[in-house]
Every structure is written in structure tokens, then in C-alpha cells.
Amino acid sequence: MIMKMQSNNPLLFITLHCLLVLSASQDFDFFYFVQQWPGSYCDTKQGCCYPSSGKPASDFGIHGLWPNRNDGSYPSNCDSSNPFDASKISDLTSKMQSDWPTLSCPSNTGITFWGHEWDKHGTCSESVLNQHDYFATTLSLKNEIDLLQALQGAGIQPNGQKYSLSSIKGAIKGASGYTPGIQCNNDSSGNSQLYQIYLCVDSSASGFIECPVFPNGSCGSSIEFPSF
């Protein structure tokens, strides 16, 4: 048997097999680490409902860690055989509730939101991060760069005033060393407001990098930072 495999060049077979597995399982170049200003989710027509644990802190909350490609496209829903299983992150629940809060209606515990994020995005990076590590790694990324502190340190407060887009980017770049992508949405009166902040993480999820490509942020040059 061994002799037969050797004559069929097992090294070539193994190399090709590894390449195939790698290309099938890691179809992305980097991650977007996306945080969201809850005030800008809640004052849109989507509305918001707080979970039974109460109103989330007046701070940026995690939206997700999204595998992305350098051409701007991204994979999604990559493995239906590995659905979200809340029991795998039971040790992270209280940190998830504070740092990755759900705001969707009707109010729920967060399981629906976290499950959506795992099923849509997490399953596309499972070659790098298993389900527990996907959430644990994302939580620890939030600890590394305090976005609200970076903005407030530059005099940019969630007080309903308008700030220039360049001052917001500059404050985050100055505090973290990395240029963020900024995404806006419109409040019920149609004002452009700070909705989500994107930072980039290398494909092994080991640290921040400069973004290879930025999302289309749809922001004006001056945007509102609503209170929450």
C-alpha cells in the first residue's frame, strides 16, 4: 500500500490536497471589525428594543467581525453544518451582553443577533477561528482600541452636534494608529450621522492592520454624533 502511494507521488497528492482545502476554507484576505453607535441604530426608523438586562452602555457596541476580500467582496453563510451554538460561548455571555448588545425588536437576549453574525460571517473564517474563539477574539479586539475615548479625547462627543468626517477619522487614527472606515446612516429627519466604524484585522485575526479597502461609507463631509 505504502509502496503504491509512493509510486503515485504522495507528496504531490498531499500538496494538492492541502492547497484545495486551504483555498476552499479561507476565501478571504482580512477581517472588518465593525463597531456601531447605538444612538444611530435606535434613532433610525429601525427603532430599537433593549434586552431584559437593560439599556446598553452609552458606548460603541460590536456589530461583527467580517471576513472580507481585497476586491471589496466578501463570503457569507459558508457552513450550514456548523450553526451557532450558544452553549459554546456560555463563559462569554456577560461580556457579550455588555460589549456586543442586541438592539433589535422585539427585545431578546442577543442570541438571535450573535447567531446571525456567526452563521453569516463567522462560518467563513472557521479555518482560523472556531466558534468560541471567533467571539472571544472579537471581544478582545474591542478592548484594544477604545473608540469613544479616542473621539472624546479630540473633543468629539455624542451630543447631537455635527463634526467633520476628517476630524473623526483623524481622532481614531491619532489614538490607534489605524485609519478607520466610517459608515453613516440617516436619522428620522434625514441628517447624516455616525453609524459604524470599521477597523481592519489581519487574516489570522492576530492584530490590526491598515485597511486594504474601505467600505462605501455614505457620509457627508460633516456628520452628526447623536446622543444615546
Give me the active site residues, please.
63, 117, 121
Among 63, 84, 96, 180, interactor with ligand AMP by CB under 6 A: 63
Residue closer to ligand AMP (CB basis): 114 or 163:
114
Residue nearest to ligand AMP (CB): 104
The whole-angstrom separation of Cα 100 and Cα 62 is 5
Q: Is 104 an interacting residue with respect to ligand AMP (CB under 6 A)?
A: yes
Cell numbers linked to 112: 438571535
Residue closer to ligand AMP (CB basis): 20 or 49:
49
Residue closer to ligand AMP (CB basis): 101 or 180:
101
Alpha helices (H) along the chain: 2-7, 10-25, 38-42, 93-99, 111-120, 131-144, 147-153, 165-176
Virtual CA dihedral for 60, 110, 81, 89, nearest 10 degrees? 80
Q: Is 115 an interacting residue with respect to ligand AMP (CB under 6 A)?
A: no
Residue closer to ligand AMP (CB basis): 63 or 142:
63
Residue closer to ligand AMP (CB basis): 106 or 155:
106
Q: What single letter denotes the amino acid at residue 93?
A: T
CB 115, min distance to ligand AMP, A: 11
- The maximal CA–CA distance of the chain, rounded, in angstroms, is 75
Q: Is 120 an interacting residue with respect to ligand AMP (CB under 6 A)?
A: yes
Q: Which residues of 166-182 are buried (b: 16+ CB within 10 A; e: fewer)?
A: eebbbbbeebbeebbbb
Among 43, 59, 117, 126, interactor with ligand AMP by CB under 6 A: 117
The whole-angstrom separation of Cα 178 and Cα 185 is 23
CB 149 within 8 A of CB 175: yes
Q: Is 142 an interacting residue with respect to ligand AMP (CB under 6 A)?
A: no
CB 216, min distance to ligand AMP, A: 14
Q: Is 40 an interacting residue with respect to ligand AMP (CB under 6 A)?
A: no
At CA 128, angle to CA 124 and CA 201, rounded to 5?
A: 85
Among 113, 134, 135, 163, interactor with ligand AMP by CB under 6 A: 113
Chain residues that interact with ligand AMP, rule: CB under 6 A: 36, 41, 46, 61, 63-64, 102-104, 113, 117, 120
